[in-house]
């Protein structure tokens, strides 16, 4: 009888001790963690619970990896933990770490592609973007829509290129379908080509449609476009900056992209135009202007006649001489 009573007491003590340990472990699981500042950690795909707990402990996110493992298993969350790149905030508890991994709230990265870059320049951006994997295929000039793209660590460069292509294809199809009657642009490629020229000619939103209108007027009259950005593309192939002013000899170069020599549009785009330039090319402003020249202040002076244009060009040259 006395032995039974002793065994009962011992079992009660063990149960109380276990309960006390579990309670303290639960408190520790929910208490602020050891991180003093936000820490970014990449959890590789296929990482098991044990290696995950060790990794987070090594990174200073967890204090007690065993407790983390126990409570994750007890909660039935082991199979729901997701790999990826995470930002763990300062003082995050082990319980919140579990919740973050179950929710899969990974870091969202972004890549902004400016309007008017050549495809070679966009591919350079992709190669230098952190967190992406694999090679970026070359889809050809002008096939990537400039905008901000969001991605996660481990996404492929090829997939991001496909997203950029699809965005451009969608915009082109819509704008070409809705272009006004009488447009001289007979294909999506011609629309894309004109938009790329407009993009390179001006960065002013208020000028794009008017510059597109000048080019459309010249196309309808069979006039050469005589636009400098096409000559620069002929000389560089879009692989680098020209790095110097154009010369008269440059304007005479025999090349299919030299619009001082060829009639109509060049064979293809010279850059990746943004949506605003695409819209301007698809729906140009109605204007009687046939010429434009830089005004020295970031914009352009427009002219209906060659005589007026020559006066504007002479004024611009005088301004340049005064600045030298």
Q: Does residue 185 sit in helix, strand or coil?
A: coil
Q: Does residue 234 sit in helix, strand or coil?
A: helix
The 10 Å CB-count burial string (b at 16+, else e) for 91-116 is: ebbbbbbbebbbeeebeebebebebb
Cα–Cα distance for residue pair 145/117, rounded to 1 Å: 10
Q: Is the dihedral of CA 223, 189, 181, 198 positive or negative?
A: negative
Q: Which domains does the chain have, with CATH numbers?
A: 26-103 (3.30.1490.480), 108-284 (no CATH), 288-324 (3.30.160.60)
pTM: predicted TM-score of the whole model, two decimal places: 0.85
Cα–Cα distance for residue pair 222/224, rounded to 1 Å: 7
Closest CA to 40 of 120, 117, 108: 108
Residues in the chain, how many? 324
Tokens of 51: 């290696």
3-state SS, one letter per residue, for 47-82: CCHHHHHHHHHHCCCCCCHHHHHHHHHHCCCHHHCC
C-beta of residue 152 within 8 angstroms of C-beta of residue 106: yes
> Which residues pair with residue 291 across a beta bridge?
303
Q: Is the dihedral of CA 111, 284, 195, 235 positive or negative?
A: negative
- Half-sphere exposure at residue 276, Cβ-oriented, CA atoms within 13 angstroms: 16
C-beta of residue 242 within 8 angstroms of C-beta of residue 228: no
Predicted confidence at residue 4, as pLDDT, reads 55
pLDDT in tens, the chain (324 residues): 555 554 444 444 444 444 444 556 566 889 999 999 999 999 999 999 999 999 999 999 999 999 999 999 999 999 999 999 999 999 999 999 999 999 999 999 999 999 999 999 999 999 999 999 999 999 999 999 999 999 999 999 999 999 999 999 999 999 999 999 999 999 999 999 999 999 999 999 999 999 999 999 999 999 999 999 999 999 999 999 999 999 999 999 999 999 999 999 999 999 999 999 999 999 999 999 999 998 888 899 999 999 999 898 888 888 877 777
Predicted confidence at residue 13, as pLDDT, reads 42
Predicted confidence at residue 130, as pLDDT, reads 93
Residue 34's Cα: distance from chain center in Å? 35
Which ranges in the chain belong to alpha helices (H)?
A: 2-30, 49-58, 65-74, 94-103, 119-128, 157-177, 188-201, 208-221, 228-236, 248-251, 275-282, 306-323
């Amino acid at each position: 009888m006395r032995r039974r009573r002793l065994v009962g007491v011992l079992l009660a003590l063990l149960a109380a001790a276990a309960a006390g340990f579990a309670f303290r472990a639960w408190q520790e699981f929910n208490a602020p963690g050891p991180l003093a500042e936000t820490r970014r950690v990449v959890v590789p795909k296929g990482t098991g619970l044990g290696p995950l707990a060790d990794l987070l402990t090594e990174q200073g996110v967890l204090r007690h990896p065993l407790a983390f493992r126990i409570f994750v298993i007890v909660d039935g969350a082991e199979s729901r933990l997701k790999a990826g790149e995470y930002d763990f905030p300062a003082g995050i508890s082990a319980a919140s770490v579990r919740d973050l991994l179950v929710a899969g709230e990974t870091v969202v990265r972004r890549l902004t592609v400016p309007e008017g870059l050549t495809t070679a320049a966009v591919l350079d951006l992709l190669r230098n973007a952190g967190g992406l994997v694999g090679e970026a295929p070359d889809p050809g000039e002008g096939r990537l829509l400039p905008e901000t793209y969001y991605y996660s660590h481990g996404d492929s460069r090829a997939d991001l290129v496909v997203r950029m292509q699809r965005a451009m294809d969608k915009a082109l199809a819509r704008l070409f379908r809705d272009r006004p009657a009488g447009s001289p642009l007979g294909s999506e490629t011609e629309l894309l080509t004109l938009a790329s020229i407009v993009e390179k000619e001006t960065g002013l939103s208020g000028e794009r449609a008017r510059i597109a209108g000048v080019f459309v007027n010249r196309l309808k009259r069979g006039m050469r476009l005589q636009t400098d950005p096409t000559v620069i593309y002929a000389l560089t192939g879009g692989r680098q900056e020209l790095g110097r002013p154009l010369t008269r000899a440059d304007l005479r170069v025999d090349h299919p992209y030299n619009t001082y020599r060829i009639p109509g549009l060049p064979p293809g785009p010279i850059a990746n135009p943004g949506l605003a330039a695409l819209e301007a090319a698809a729906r140009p402003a109605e204007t009687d202007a046939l010429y434009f020249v830089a005004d020295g202040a970031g914009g352009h002076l427009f002219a209906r006649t060659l005589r007026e244009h020559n006066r504007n060009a002479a004024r611009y040259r005088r301004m340049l001489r005064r600045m030298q």
